[in-house]
Amino acid sequence: MSANPSALATAPASSRIAPPISASLWLNTPAPLTLDQLRGRVLVLHAFQMLCPGCVSHGLPQAMEIQRTFDPQTITVIGLHSVFEHHDVMTPAALRVFVHEYRLTFPIAVDQPSENRSLPRTMHAYAMQGTPTLVLIDARGRIRAQHFGGVSDLVVGAEIGRLLVERVESPLAV
Amino acid sequence: MSANPSALATAPASSRIAPPISASLWLNTPAPLTLDQLRGRVLVLHAFQMLCPGCVSHGLPQAMEIQRTFDPQTITVIGLHSVFEHHDVMTPAALRVFVHEYRLTFPIAVDQPSENRSLPRTMHAYAMQGTPTLVLIDARGRIRAQHFGGVSDLVVGAEIGRLLVERVESPLAV
Amino acid sequence: MSANPSALATAPASSRIAPPISASLWLNTPAPLTLDQLRGRVLVLHAFQMLCPGCVSHGLPQAMEIQRTFDPQTITVIGLHSVFEHHDVMTPAALRVFVHEYRLTFPIAVDQPSENRSLPRTMHAYAMQGTPTLVLIDARGRIRAQHFGGVSDLVVGAEIGRLLVERVESPLAV
Amino acid sequence: MSANPSALATAPASSRIAPPISASLWLNTPAPLTLDQLRGRVLVLHAFQMLCPGCVSHGLPQAMEIQRTFDPQTITVIGLHSVFEHHDVMTPAALRVFVHEYRLTFPIAVDQPSENRSLPRTMHAYAMQGTPTLVLIDARGRIRAQHFGGVSDLVVGAEIGRLLVERVESPLAV
């Protein structure tokens, strides 16, 4: 279901304050991260599932290239492992192996499972439709773009460029 | 360890009779397969691990293209899930999800774990050095090529072409 | 000489007013274009040679994708055929065939040859080091980036995004 | 017309003796080549036009990889510049620049123009439908495969493999 983007939930919101990340676990970071603490940076939140072909072939390589291209103190990439299917095999232990084998080095949150839904909490709060989903959060903590499925580097680059200008021009607003 | 081909064991043998496939489970086939029963066909045995990046990006797509390109009654592709690391997360249940998500349709054997080695039995019997490994077995059941890591379509194609001619020219020998 | 970017001339300037385009001929436009007349738009000037491998494999496809991705009234792509070698075979007649076969649809200026240099006039005025070269000109007519050789879509996208914000924020300055 | 394979002439023949190459000029060889003189080798004849996008993006890179992959004394790659359109700009002088810029090193024949047809002589003799066309000629000088447009490395590899076996098995027939 996740390889070819298809409908899962409602349409993405825009320009609202990004909901907090509900994580049951963090990898690649000494301590859990919060959006509040990252205010002032442009955030690239990449939601994926380790066994989603489109995430492995396109989404994660794009997230890694964003991480390599920009200054991490300005543009911070965060992975979000949002398992909404096959929960029994995409476990935190399996994710650790995946992260090691694919050499992912950005911080990754394991999206907190819900008690009464298949969708984990952060995925639900962002109204994501599936994986991969790329969310751009500006320096003031607002969702400015949310892409389900593939999105070109040109488009993501242009969006990042916009947020970088705003960040510099409105430092006090941050 | 498996993304970039590196040494795991001894060098591959050649032109010897292919050892039997020791499988604890078969997927995508109504009944277990044996090499004896497939004698007369050219076999492409593709050994992989579901969390090996080189297998996912190159090895498996190549195996799928071989399956699509040639007559399956003449060239039969068989997958071999040879787990030699991270056994706890590359389970048969996880493999089933992987096979479903990546739409693999050729028969896949789960390589039989060894009691006293990390290498599973078939991988050991073929002296494979890691994953991905592509083994070409001729119509008489002999190993004719064994490639660890990436190998170009041109080279694999040329090897398949050779075995196809021999198969037609020596039907009695089969 | 042009396939792998290498030094040709002096380093590119930045943030200066873009020199005018000296063209001996224009293709894909009913009338010659001038930078003055395009003031208020972000311009992507792509300098190439039709027999430069890096231009054909990377530069021109990137220019075409920029053209497809953004509103042409906001971001205008202009090709510049800057022949600095093999002048006898990269003629305007040959360029017309090339443009037809490769289905290029953005306006293309044939850079005006110099009388006493191998470098054509526009290429010289911009101090380009070879082909492909991508120049970004802001809505006020200033050179904001100049890339010789390959540059990633993420980087070009981010630069375009910056110039788009400025364009909207400073309409009077335009 | 040449970018996307489309009908130009009649269907390709097969298993007949390959017609001689009619060349007005040879590049990358100290002396003209003849098929008779190359008898005993498997030949890969790649017909292209320097301004044909499909030739530049797929056909020529495949010919170059065949040249790199196999022993040139066994598999010999020959280019054939078969101009059937835009004759005035795809001249021998322009081809020399193209060959230099794209670093083609295999021998290339310039297909002899016809007096009363747009199709050059060799292209006509082989009944080629356009460019790129890949022709495989066995060690006995017979056409064994002829592909107009793209053909996968797996398929070409398998055909080459077949011809290599025949070549070794029937040395006297050569």
- Can you read off the two tokens belonging to residue D132? 């790129």
- More confident of the two residues D15 and C52: C52
Q: Where does D32-131 have alpha helices with state H?
A: 35-38, 53-54, 60-69, 92-101, 121-125
Which chains touch B (3+ CB pairs under 8 A)?
A: A, D
Query: Please, what is the average pLDDT of chain C?
Result: 90
Model confidence at C137: pLDDT above 70: yes
Q: How confident is the model at residue C129 (pLDDT cuts 50, 70, 90)?
A: very high
- Can you read off the two tokens belonging to residue A78? 């965060």
- More confident of the two residues A53 and C10: A53
Range in A145-149, B134-138, B164-168 with the lowest mean pLDDT: B164-168
Q: Which residues of B touch D (CB under 8 A)?
A: 65-66, 69-70, 152-166, 169
Query: Please, what is the average pLDDT of chain D?
Result: 90
Q: What is the DSSP letter of B142?
A: B
At position C11, the amino acid (one-letter code) is A
Per-residue pLDDT, D106: 98
Q: For D79-125, write each residue's pLDDT tens digit.
A: 999 999 999 999 999 999 999 999 999 999 999 999 888 899 999 99
What average pLDDT does range A55-83 have in this prediction?
97
Q: For D65-89, write each residue's pLDDT tens digit.
A: 999 999 999 999 999 999 999 999 9
- Rg, Å, chain A Cα set: 15
Number of A to B CB contacts under 8 A, please give it. 40
Which run of H or of E encompasses B93?
Answer: helix B92-101
What average pLDDT does range B50-69 have in this prediction?
98
Backbone angles phi, psi at C70, to 5 degrees: -110, 160
- Can you read off the two tokens belonging to residue D88? 């005035």
Per-residue pLDDT, B78: 98
Per-residue pLDDT, D52: 98
Of C3, C94, C102, the CB nearest to D89: C94
Chains A and D touch (3+ CB pairs under 8 A): no
Collect all residues with Cβ–Cβ distance below 8 Å to B171 and sequence separation of at least 6.
none
CA–CA distance, D150 with D138 (Å, rounded to integer)? 21
Beta strands in chain B (DSSP E): 23-27, 42-48, 75-81, 108-111, 133-137, 143-148
Model confidence at A80: pLDDT above 50: yes
Which run of H or of E encompasses D25?
Answer: strand D23-27
Of C88, C91, C101, the CB nearest to D52: C101
Per-residue pLDDT, C5: 33
- Can you read off the two tokens belonging to residue A91? 């476990």
Per-residue pLDDT, C117: 85
B26: Cα separation from own chain's centroid: 13
- Can you read off the two tokens belonging to residue A42? 């442009």
Residue burial B67-92, b: 16+ Cβ < 10 Å; e: rest: beebeeeebbbbbbbbbbbbeebbbe
Identify all chain B residues contacting D162, using CB atoms and an 8 Å cutoff: 161-162, 164-165
CA–CA distance, C63 with C44 (Å, rounded to integer)? 8
Task: Check: CB of residue C149 under 8 Å from CB of residue C21.
Answer: no
At position B33, the amino acid (one-letter code) is L
Of B156, B157, B165, the CB nearest to D165: B165
Q: Which of B74, B153, B154, B160 to mutate to test the interface with D (most CBs of D within 10 A)?
A: B154
Model confidence at B11: pLDDT above 50: no
Identify all chain B residues contacting D158, using CB atoms and an 8 Å cutoff: 69-70, 157-158, 160-161, 164
Q: What 3-state class would DSSP assign to A167?
A: helix
Of C153, C155, C161, the CB nearest to A159: C161
- Can you read off the two tokens belonging to residue B62? 């190549």
Cβ pair D91:C89 closer than 8 A: yes
Per-residue pLDDT, C171: 57
Cα separation values, D131 from C10, D33, D134, D157, Å? 41, 22, 9, 20
Model confidence at B52: pLDDT above 60: yes
Model confidence at A14: pLDDT above 60: no
CA–CA distance, C36 with B155 (Å, rounded to integer)? 56
Residue burial B99-122, b: 16+ Cβ < 10 Å; e: rest: bebbebebbbbbbbeeeeeebbbb
Q: What is the DSSP letter of D55?
A: I
Collect all residues with Cβ–Cβ distance below 8 Å to A166 and sequence separation of at least 6.
A138, A139, C165
Q: Where does chain A have alpha helices with state H?
A: 35-38, 53-54, 60-69, 92-101, 121-125, 153-169
What average pLDDT does range B105-113 have in this prediction?
98
Q: How confident is the model at residue C170 (pLDDT cuts 50, 70, 90)?
A: low
Q: How confident is the model at residue B174 (pLDDT cuts 50, 70, 90)?
A: very low
Distance from CA of D62 to the nearest CA of B (A): 9
Q: For A98-107, write each residue's pLDDT tens digit.
A: 999 999 999 9
CA–CA distance, D94 with A12 (Å, rounded to integer)? 54
CA atoms within 13 A on the CB side of C93: 9
DSSP D95-106: HHHHHHHTT--S
- Rg, Å, chain B Cα set: 15
Cα separation values, A42 from A74, A126, A150, A160, Å? 6, 17, 20, 8
Task: Check: CB of residue A137 under 8 Å from CB of residue A107.
Answer: no
Which run of H or of E encompasses A146?
Answer: strand A143-148
Query: Please, what is the average pLDDT of chain B?
Result: 90
Cβ pair D101:C57 closer than 8 A: no
Of A161, A163, A169, the CB nearest to C160: A161
Collect all residues with Cβ–Cβ distance below 8 Å to B37 and sequence separation of at least 6.
none
Per-residue pLDDT, D133: 98
Per-residue pLDDT, C37: 96
Q: How many CB atoms lie within 10 A of CB D88?
A: 11
How many percent of chain A have pLDDT more than 70? 89
Block residue for tokens 């208020």: C40
Q: How confident is the model at residue C174 (pLDDT cuts 50, 70, 90)?
A: very low
Identify all chain B residues contacting A103, using CB atoms and an 8 Å cutoff: 3
DSSP C22-69: -EEEEESSSS---HHHHTTSEEEEEEE-TT-HHIIIIIHHHHHHHHHH
Q: Which residues of C touch D (CB under 8 A)?
A: 2-3, 51-53, 56-57, 86, 88-91, 93-94, 97-98, 101-103
Task: Check: CB of residue D148 under 8 Å from CB of residue D5.
Answer: yes
Per-residue pLDDT, A11: 31
Cβ pair C158:A152 closer than 8 A: no
- Can you read off the two tokens belonging to residue A26? 């963090």
CA–CA distance, A102 with A55 (Å, rounded to integer)? 12
Per-residue pLDDT, D116: 83
Q: For D44-66, write each residue's pLDDT tens digit.
A: 999 999 999 999 999 999 999 99
